[in-house]
Structure 1
Amino acid sequence: MIWRRHRKSAPALSRTDIRTLWQVTSLLLDYPTEQLRAQAPTLHAALAQVPADARAGLTAYLDHLQATSLASLQSDYIDTFDITRKCALHLSYYTCGDTRKRGVELIRFKQAYRAAGVEMSGDELPDHLCVVLEFGAVHDVDIAWKLLCDNRVGIELLHRALRAKDSAWLPVVQSLRATLPELDGSDEEALAKLIAQGPPSEQVGLDLPGYAMDPRLNPRPLPIDLGDAIPVGAQQR
């Protein structure tokens, strides 16, 4: 079955291609380790099964991974993602900043995972791009698609920041963008606003709509609107 993207939709990729691309992207956007370097041949082999134009950015980074010292990779990663906020991998940061409003977004991510029967464990926040991609690759591609499309502007800002730094991770995010819809008119407007103003700052006295920050304390889940999810047939769990 071919999975056609909504909005401006070409090229089409199969669900299997999407899952493979997202899984590899999730690994390559994580902190580089010796274990990841050892997995490079396996990842190359997995990518060989997807269209050449879709895998090009990922294979380019895999070559860089194998040719560069681990110490250099790790230092570059910290400088890129941990120090530079413009290259944040937490998607809700772009639209919510460090405001309390972001807590509601984090709840939304967690409850989207729960809709697929997945409970998060560990310390990583649910809006981390690697977490969303891993969830989509392993558990529910449709819900992950919705989360990624809802945060399409954040991914575009990440791409532009990596391009400005001429980052080694730029081709990885370029490959991810190729699996997602192009920006539409409303996206472009939101993008221009965020470029001009940056992420929002905290608003004193901001009232949250009755939700506890810890979703386990919420008596009822936030509604998750999946109305725009791609109709791709039966879910693969």
Structure 2
Amino acid sequence: MIGRHPEPRLRPDQLTIAWQSVSLLLDYPDQRLLEQTTLIRNASAELPDEVGRPLREFLDYLQSRPPEELAAEYVRTFDHQKKCCLFLTYFTSGDTRKRGIALLRFKQTYLRSGLVLGPDELPDHLSVVLEYAATTDQRLGWKLLLDYRAGFELLRLALAEASSPWALVADALRATLPPLRGDDWEAVVQLAEQGPPEEDVGLEAFAPPEYMPVGSDQYGRGGYR
């Protein structure tokens, strides 16, 4: 067990490949990402089929569309739909004081591993969490992913409901995680029914401004790489 959490089913090297691949593919589809598609495809051959296959299917989509079309669809999906938010704490805390506290927890976890984020980086962005888990500390990254599992499941379900190609990437990530137990499903259902809290005052008192969403691009990842 990792704390109260089950052990991963994949080998550490497979988790590194899977989480790094998902981290890249959930990021904005710029030229840098498009240049790495062959590398990601080759690496996916080292993964179990339930993880590697959806990644390769998404790569087929990625390589079949013009870059400007991919960029526009990414913005429509992740920037304009809150239910497809890539920030894990949004689902449980909304834009409330509690979210500021949750963001600090992510930041403190990273600091324990010697990782200091840049001023434009949001610590609960799923791509950031996955890159941390893949390249810095699998044990602590695993714990973050499972502690915020319900939020990820809501994101995955929203992507599937929207018939988004990024649902394939979410499916690949889900296949690296343990099956949901009864209590976990109850948490997902409760979040889906209640939605995130809506209070939007007081965050600044609990977290530095660089960790707060700003402007119309609030669901972008920032400059992690």
Write the mapping of 1:17-36 to structure 2, written as runs, cut at 5 A: 17-36=14-33
What is residue 233 of structure 1 aligned with on the other side?
A: none
Identity rate, percent: 46
Offset of 1:150 from its aligned partner? 0.4
Offset of 1:52 from its aligned partner? 2.5
Deviation beyond 6 Å, 4+ runs, structure 1: none
Write the mapping of 1:117-156 to structure 2, written as runs, cut at 5 A: 117-156=114-153
Structure 1 residue runs without a partner (length 5+): 216-237
Q: Which has the higher contact order (CA 8 A, sep 6+)?
A: 2
Counterpart among 71, 74, 77 of residue 77 in structure 1: 74
When residues 18 and 187 of structure 1 are mapped into structure 2, their CA distance, relative to the original with a 3 A threshold, is: same
Structure 2 residue runs without a partner (length 5+): 210-225
Q: Report the 3-state secondary structure (helix = DSSP H, G, I; strand = E; otherwise coil) of the residue aligned with 2:132.
A: helix
What is residue 221 of structure 2 aligned with on the other side?
A: none
Counterpart among 208, 211, 214 of residue 214 in structure 1: 208
TM-score if structure 1 supplies the norm length?
0.81
What is residue 85 of structure 2 aligned with on the other side?
A: 88
Q: Determine if the alignment matches structure 1 residue 160 to structure 2 residue 146.
A: no
- Please say if residues 61 and 171 of structure 1, whose CA atoms lie closer than 8 Å, have aligned partners that are also in contact: yes
Q: Report the 3-state secondary structure (helix = DSSP H, G, I; strand = E; otherwise coil) of the residue aligned with 2:70.
A: helix
> RMSD over aligned Cα, in angstroms?
2.3
Q: Give the letter for the 2:175 counterpart.
A: A
- Please say if residues 136 and 142 of structure 1, whose CA atoms lie closer than 8 Å, have aligned partners that are also in contact: yes
- Please say if residues 23 and 126 of structure 2, whose CA atoms lie closer than 8 Å, have aligned partners that are also in contact: yes
TM-score if structure 2 supplies the norm length?
0.85
Q: Give the letter for the 1:60 counterpart.
A: E
What is residue 173 of structure 1 aligned with on the other side?
A: 170
Q: What is the CA–CA distance in structure 1 between the aligned matches of 2:195 and 2:76, rounded to whole Å?
A: 20
